[in-house]
Structure 1
Amino acid sequence: MHKPLPSRRRGFTLIEVMVALVILAVGLLGMASLMARSQKSNESAYARSQATLLAYDIIERMRTNLVDPDPAANKNYKVLYVTDHSSKYSLGSLPSCSTPTGAPPAGGEGRATYDIAAWCSALRSSLPSVDAAGTSVAFDTSALATTGVVTVTVRVQWQDNSIDDGQNQNVTLVTSL
């Protein structure tokens, strides 16, 4: 009679398990690093989007500030307030401001003051790391007499804390009104 040989049990050795765990740990650490970088990039992109939207916001506020023209101009339609009073919107730096209350005035200087206060408040709440000294609104009225066009440059600057060294970032929007 033939006696069967005892079957050898097959399985994983401790060394194989340890090697598999090391490989898995290295892969998971790489994924964690990738997720952290992705989060920083998302925060930076969000700040850039907010700055861009707010730069367009002040431009649109200027476009909606219409006033009756000077009676001597002999015009039967409302004109942009900034064509004659662009200095009211001009900002060398972002002022300290509070949220305006009440309805915005229909037009003119009161509307410009309201617009700046509302824009400033929105900037400070949506972009908390805004750099007040680097944020500005400037006008070029050199072509106003010949073409009736005012060129507006809006610059929004902020400190991007999601970047390792906290660099200043900015969005500059140039348009004609």
Structure 2
Amino acid sequence: MARPIPPKHSKRRAIGVTLIEVLVALLVLSIGLIGVAALQANALQANHGSQLRSQATNLAYDITDRMRANRQDALNNAYVGEYDAVTCPNDAADLPSLTGSLAERDITEWRVALACGLPSGRAQISRSGDEFTIRIRWDNDRLAEDESEEVEEFVTRTEI
């Protein structure tokens, strides 16, 4: 019995199809890697935003603890006011001098922490009866999706 001879053209077509399959696979892989990179960038932004919110929470609790430790001055409104962050010092020689009452020193130290912890940080402490409201705001334009989200705010209320 004679063996059939395969056509010569089928081998050439198989080689070309394999090359196209490899190119399509590379295209799909590259699109997937771009998606993973975008996902990683979004995760880093969300992590940075979370870190700033945690810092604002810690700053609010810090001033609350200072007010509780100096309760009489807190009840005399020594901590009430609006505060912009001072410049974050590069070393100990750049720290502002701590003079005045305990409340004034607390506010000075807190403003330094506000400057070092939050971009363009500012705060407001207000009082209504025995309840104090602490508002901390910072610049969030790097993470904002529109202009309404450019300033982030953390608010806490406590009784002294």
Q: For this structure pair, what is the TM-score category when the shorter chain's length is used for normalisation?
A: 0.7 to 0.9
Q: Does 1:136 align with 2:119?
A: no
**CA displacement, residues 67-123 of structure 1 (integer Å, 9 cap, x when unaligned):** xxxxxxxxxxxxx3322x12x111134364774557xx9xxx711000000000000
- Contact persistence 1:152–1:175 (CA under 8 A): yes
The counterpart of 1:154, out of the listed 103, 111, 134, is 134
Residue 139 of structure 1 aligns to a residue whose secondary structure is: strand
Partner of 1:38: 43
Whole-angstrom distance in 1 between the partners of 2:41 and 2:144: 12
Q: Give the paired residue count.
A: 145
- Contact persistence 1:100–1:114 (CA under 8 A): no
Partner of 1:122: 113
Residue 35 of structure 2 aligns to a residue whose secondary structure is: helix
Higher helix share: 2
Q: Percent identity?
A: 34
> What are the ranges of 5 or more consecutive residues in structure 1 without an aligned counterpart?
67-79, 142-149
**TM-score, normalised by the number of residues in structure 2:** 0.77
> What are the ranges of 5 or more consecutive residues in structure 2 without an aligned counterpart?
88-93
**CA displacement, residues 129-172 of structure 1 (integer Å, 9 cap, x when unaligned):** 32x3xx2001112xxxxxxxx11100000111222346111000
Whole-angstrom distance in 2 between the partners of 1:55 and 1:168: 17
**TM-score, normalised by the number of residues in structure 1:** 0.70
- Contact persistence 2:138–2:153 (CA under 8 A): yes
1:5 deviation in Å?
A: 6.9
Q: Does 1:90 align with 2:80?
A: yes
- Contact persistence 2:83–2:111 (CA under 8 A): no
Partner of 1:69: none
Please, what is the CA RMSD of the aligned residues?
A: 2.7
Correspondence 1:1-177 to 2 at 5 A: 13-65=18-70, 80-83=72-75, 85-86=76-77, 88-94=78-84, 96=86, 99-100=95-96, 110-130=101-121, 132=122, 135-141=123-129, 150-160=130-140, 161-165=142-146, 167-177=150-160
